[in-house]
Structure 1
């Protein structure tokens, strides 16, 4: 018996409606510590999806209807193979699930599929599916340059190499944000989305930090990558079983893992979206 979308999806996701502003959506993302939400119209019908990446790629837009993507959806009774390949095709982390009435009933991210990957495709080797590019940076690269590189390349995870080419750590967008010395109240106020009546979570703020930094005109400190990187990050190996790599992702809730060869040299980055390509085999 095939596994259906309804069997693995996250049910009853947080939604938002149009018309609305991006700052309204950012408030919802922060308060609920999520990175993407379905958007519905005035009749509660699916209208689109908006994520922190969509906001990041459209920093000057103010209206949700302009920034949201009218992306393809899947139905609750679709096979998970179809849903997995739709995520791979879109190359975005959030896929909306609807019913026959075009109403939103669920949401899928790569994390929803990982337990099935372990069950069905555990013995595939990491090197068999490794395809996404990796963008290493030197450990002396200044933080402000890393941030600029992120804006230009639309890459959010950078493996770090020393001057001899040795892999020494990992820098992600969240590691950059942790070095911005501002209180949440000050930052939200400068970004124009402060709201004293509602609680704000620091993790939620980190989810949309690029938007907040851009709106707040925050100065990025000029410190080298080696001072902010995650030293000795969790890694996988090019000849490791996919099931073992997926287990690490599930345990740590990671979206990616650096991949090393047998000599400990960087071989690439394994992303959870590319893992879903196994459903197309």
Structure 2
């Protein structure tokens, strides 16, 4: 099968336009449940803006100053193997798709996972599994989990209970919601215009922030991580790649815990690792 970017891409692209403001982008994120949008000017691709861009440049309001200009793109007729090679060799999770210099679609890691879910690929997930992960206890405060993730450069942490059993997953999508971003922006504005010492403001620790990204951004709650975690799905080492992909789509997750024969945590399968199977086929 000779798939191209055009075969898999999403043609209904949600995008922002120049000139524009941050509030509009946040509305798009919340409305469509996405974390990035291409930016268009006069019908041509001008850049891409992600949730992390907004967090890294919290003082900026204009899309033109927040976006990443000249993003990596693919042409609509590019073979999917080339698309996958770009995605697995970069931090990108989505690529704008062009016909010439006009934006005609966007292709994401999830789009490719959905295609794999439709296929019959029998390779076991153990060939793509990462046998290591930074785990946290279910009673650990979310603010501490954020710091653990920053220090370990982890996108997520499996959560274990007191019996060392996997009981959940916590990731950046859960911790850095649009609501937290909006509250943080509001608090920045409040703090900059007020000298009051509100004893409750941001859990009474206004100067403490979780430096989760390159800049201090969000002050996370001190409540236990178990109050925020996702209930985990799981697969086993010999589960097929296509079955794992179907579970990822069904559960709307990017990482799948792998359990051993005794149902102990054995590792993680990342969606970016699974899509490598298309390079081999």
CA distance in structure 1 between the aligned counterparts of 2:120 and 2:72, rounded to whole angstroms: 26
Q: Which residue of 1 aligns with 2:34?
A: 34
Matched, 1:245 2:244: yes
Q: 1:122 — aligned with what?
A: 121
Matched, 1:2 2:2: yes
The TM-score with structure 2 as length reference comes to 0.77
Select between 244-253 and 102-111 the one with higher mean Cα deviation.
244-253
Does the CA contact (< 8 Å) of 2:233 and 2:251 recur in 1?
no
After the TM superposition, which of the residue ranges 4-13 and 109-118 deviates more from structure 2?
109-118
Matched with 1:224 is 224
The answer on whether the counterparts of 1:56 and 1:210 sit within 8 Å (CA) in structure 2 is: no
Other-structure match for 2:98: 98
Runs of 4+, deviation exceeding 4 Å: 150-154, 173-177
Report deviation, 1:120. 5.2
> Tell me, what secondary structure is at the counterpart of 1:11?
coil
* 1:170-185 pair list within 5 angstroms: 170-173=169-172, 175-176=174-175
Report what 1:53 is aligned to. Answer: 52
1:71 paired residue number:
71
SS in structure 1 at match of 2:31: helix
1:266 aligns with 2:265: yes
Shift of residue 153, structure 1, vs aligned partner: 5.2
For 1:214, the equivalent position in structure 2 comes to 184
Q: Deviations over 1:140-176 (max 9, x none)?
A: 2112222344455564432112355332222234555
Per-residue CA deviation, residues 111-154 of structure 1 (Å, 9 max, x unaligned), is: 21124324556211111112486321122211222234445556
What is the distance in 2 between the residues matched to 1:280 and 1:124? 13
Q: Deviations over 1:155-206 (max 9, x none)?
A: 44321123553322222345557xxxxxxxxxxxxxxxxxxxxxxxxxxxx4
Distance in 2, matches of 1:235 and 1:17, equals: 40
Partner Cα distance (1:28, 1:113) in 2: 23
Q: TM-score, normalised by structure 1?
A: 0.77
2: CA distance between counterparts of 1:133 and 1:71?
32
Q: Report Cα offsets for 1:1-44 as digits up to 9, x if no partner.
A: 62221121110302112343333322232233322211122x32
Separation in 2, partners of 1:63, 1:133: 40
Q: Is the 8 A contact 1:132 1:271 kept in 2?
A: no
> What SS class does the counterpart of residue 96 from structure 1 fall into?
strand
What SS class does the counterpart of residue 250 from structure 1 fall into?
Answer: helix
Q: RMSD over aligned Cα, in angstroms?
A: 2.6
Instruction: Pick closer, same or farther for the CA change 1:80–1:264 going to 2, 3 Å.
Output: same
Deviates more, 1:3-12 or 1:132-141: 132-141
In structure 2, distance between residues paired with 1:165 and 1:251: 26
Aligned partners of 1:131, 1:61: CA distance in 2, in Å?
37
